[in-house]
Amino acid sequence: MNQALPIRPQKSSVTERPSLVRRILRRTIFGVLFALPIILTIFLVYQIYIVLDSWVIEPVASLILPKGIEDPYWKSIENFVTPPISLLTVFLFFYFLGYAFQSRLSRWVDGLFGRIPGISMLYRAIRDASQAIQGPDGLKKIDTVVLVPFPHANARATGFLMGECQDIESGEPLVCVYVPIALFPPSGYTLLFRREEIIFTEWEASSPWKLVLSGGLTIPTRIPFR
């Protein structure tokens, strides 16, 4: 006896198109997402320029450029000439100051700040970091992105491999990792891990910053979690 096969409802061959309001809203969101990186970049550059203008350009310009000139031609070009001249002056100042990096003046400054209580600790830390950057590779060696068990063993955070050392008792290899945080990306945590605990990746050096700033939206589709 033949059993009757269940009748399946046929799918409509006509694809439902989204409504006009939905299409307009979707196109508007795409426009916002397109413009947002441009607006944020311009905003950050403008904020940096404001800081440079108040801390560098105006103070330097008041020292090297004449004031109170009633020449109408100078008045018309003063706002355009002042920033490049001030920045060039600061650049040349630090360029020639670079010759003092390994001179007696450098040792004299080290001795001066090294004897001031409280300030000596801060100065030596910044000085050591500056000398590390002045090494043969400089910041180029800070390009290894790793995954570390942080804030607990079952989670992973992205960071930069900063240096390697050994445990004083067991001789076990250790690594120092800088983990940026999302609230203020330039700041972060400097943590020590056993080398066997971290996961090396082949990601670009900009990957941790992308993950932090996007809240995880730019995470790769496949990652070495274990």
Q: Phi and psi dihedrals of 195, rounded to 5?
A: -60, -35
pLDDT at 219: 73
Pick out the chain residues at pLDDT < 70: 1-18, 67-71, 73-75, 100-104, 125-142, 182-186, 213-217
Percent of the chain with pLDDT over 70: 71
DSSP string, 85-117: HHHHHHHHHHHHHGGGTTSHHHHHHHHHHHTST
Helix (H), strand (E) at residue 199: strand 199-200
pLDDT at 92: 84
Distance between CA atoms of residues 146 and 192, nearest Å: 13
Reference 109, options 128, 89, 123, 121; nearest CA is 123
pLDDT at 103: 66
Count of H-run helices and E-run strands, the chain: 6, 5
Q: Check if the beta carbon of residue 185 is closer than 8 Å to that of residue 201.
A: no
At position 58, the amino acid (one-letter code) is E
For strands 188-194 and 145-148, give the pairing.
Answer: unpaired
Q: Check if the beta carbon of residue 200 is closer than 8 Å to that of residue 144.
A: yes
Per residue, what are the HEC states of 121-181? Answer: HHHHHHHHHHHHHCCCCHHHHCCCEEEECCCCCCCCEEEEEEEEEECCCCCCEEEEEEEEC
Task: Report how far apart, in Å, the C-alpha atoms of 157 and of each of 86, 140, 174, 190 are.
Answer: 42, 22, 17, 12
Task: Mention every residue, 6+ apart, whose C-beta is less than 8 A from residue 164.
Answer: 173, 174, 175, 176, 195
HSE value, Cβ hemisphere, 13 Å, CA-based, for 106: 11
For strands 188-194 and 173-180, give the pairing.
Answer: antiparallel
For strands 173-180 and 145-148, give the pairing.
Answer: unpaired
pLDDT at 129: 60
Distance between CA atoms of residues 83 and 79, nearest Å: 7
